[in-house]
Amino acid sequence: MARRRRPARLSGKAARLVEWERVARVATVSASGTPHVVPVCHILAGAKLYFGSGRRARKIRNLRANPRVTLTVDLYTDAWDALKGVMVQGTATIIEKGPRFRRLRARIYRKYPQYPSDAALGESDSVIVEIRPTHVFTWGLD
């Protein structure tokens, strides 16, 4: 019988970095095994991460075929001893519509005020992706 894995949590400095940084990169893999990495506008809500997307985007097609996902937030500097980052591996759930979709969309809009006019998340053509972390890795946050 398979053991159920407890979700990993972001805490302290890792949660603050993920919460306040403006861009994350999401990696997905297609059904045939082709990797795909793209920037996304993300939020941290409780123990989960969220981002919006068009429902026909490659990352969404990949997540429908394989819900395993990795999200990375990092700060780059030429002083390599000052590099900081958080990598979250997890399982994605696609939220298609309804009150939960609208609540999460409102949170994304609060963090990214340009989003409603530049990349609006309408229920008919967009989805919200929820990432439930299973592993969290950090660097430079000590």
Break the chain into its structural domains and give their ranges.
12-139
Per the listing, tokens 């919460």 go with: 19
pLDDT for the residue numbered 80: 86
Stretches where the chain sits below pLDDT 50 are 1-3
Within 8 A by CB and 6+ apart from 53, the residues are 40, 59, 60, 126, 127, 128, 129
- Quote the CATH superfamily of domain 12-139: Electron Transport, Fmn-binding Protein; Chain A (2.30.110.10)
Is pTM beyond 0.85 here?
yes
pLDDT for the residue numbered 6: 61
pLDDT for the residue numbered 68: 96
**Cβ atoms of 10 and 138 closer than 8 Å:** no
**What is the per-residue pLDDT across 53-76, written as a single tens digit (0 to 9) for each?**
999 999 999 999 999 999 999 998
Choose among 114, 136, 116, 135: nearest CA to 126: 116
26's torsion region: left (phi>0), alpha (psi -120 to 50) or beta?
beta
pLDDT for the residue numbered 1: 46
pLDDT for the residue numbered 93: 98
Distance separating alpha carbons of residues 34 and 134, to the nearest angstrom: 22
Please state, in angstroms and as integers, the Cα–Cα distance from residue 71 to each residue in 47, 87, 102, 111, following that order: 14, 6, 22, 18
Helix ranges (DSSP H) in 1-142: 12-20, 58-65, 99-111, 115-118
